[in-house]
Amino acid sequence: MTRRVRRKVAKKGKDDAVSPSYLEIEVDNLGLHKNGVANWINLSDDTLIQLFSCLNYRDRASLSSTCKTWRFLGSSQCLWSSLDLRAHKFDVAAATLLASRCVNLQNLRFRGAESADVIINLQAKSLPKISGDYCKKITDATLSVIVARHEALKSLQFGPDFCERITGDAIKATAL
């Protein structure tokens, strides 16, 4: 407690010290039953989308398979405009699960040449920006397929490592 609050409590007593602007939220407004258990059915769509936005892509996809309402909300374009895969192992199974949700993807970040081989499976043809970290093992073939699959690609970044297996010919072909 700050000094000011302590003085106020000492002067007025504990009950009077609470600010009149404090709003007391009733249990019914939180969607809670009397025993304190959340009623997930009564949550608004905006609240659920905010909840989904706090989750990683695997949890988001899992929750989307719970019911029709959550499937609809979980595939909302605002949740799938950007996908950061750097903190997760991205394999073919995950790519298959996410492929239909990534149609309108705008930004993709991944880590490693293994993930680069897998992002080809995403259905993100209109993807304008791809950024890959630690892709020194990426090959000309993988680079060519990534560029061919993503027709609207405007920005392609690999770093911080030097990509040893990419030749100048592949870079020229990518630029065209």
Residue 23 has pLDDT above 50, yes or no: no
| pLDDT of 100 above 60 | yes
Query: Which of 8-17, 76-85, 92-101, 102-111 bottoms out in mean pLDDT, i.e. has the lowest?
Result: 8-17
Name the band, by pLDDT with cuts 50, 70 and 90, for residue 28.
very low
Answering whether pTM is above 0.75, one says no
107 CB burial (10 A radius; 0-12, 13-18, 19+): middle
Task: Give, in order, the Cα–Cα distances in Å from 46 to each of 4, 17, 42, 51, 78.
Answer: 39, 35, 12, 9, 11
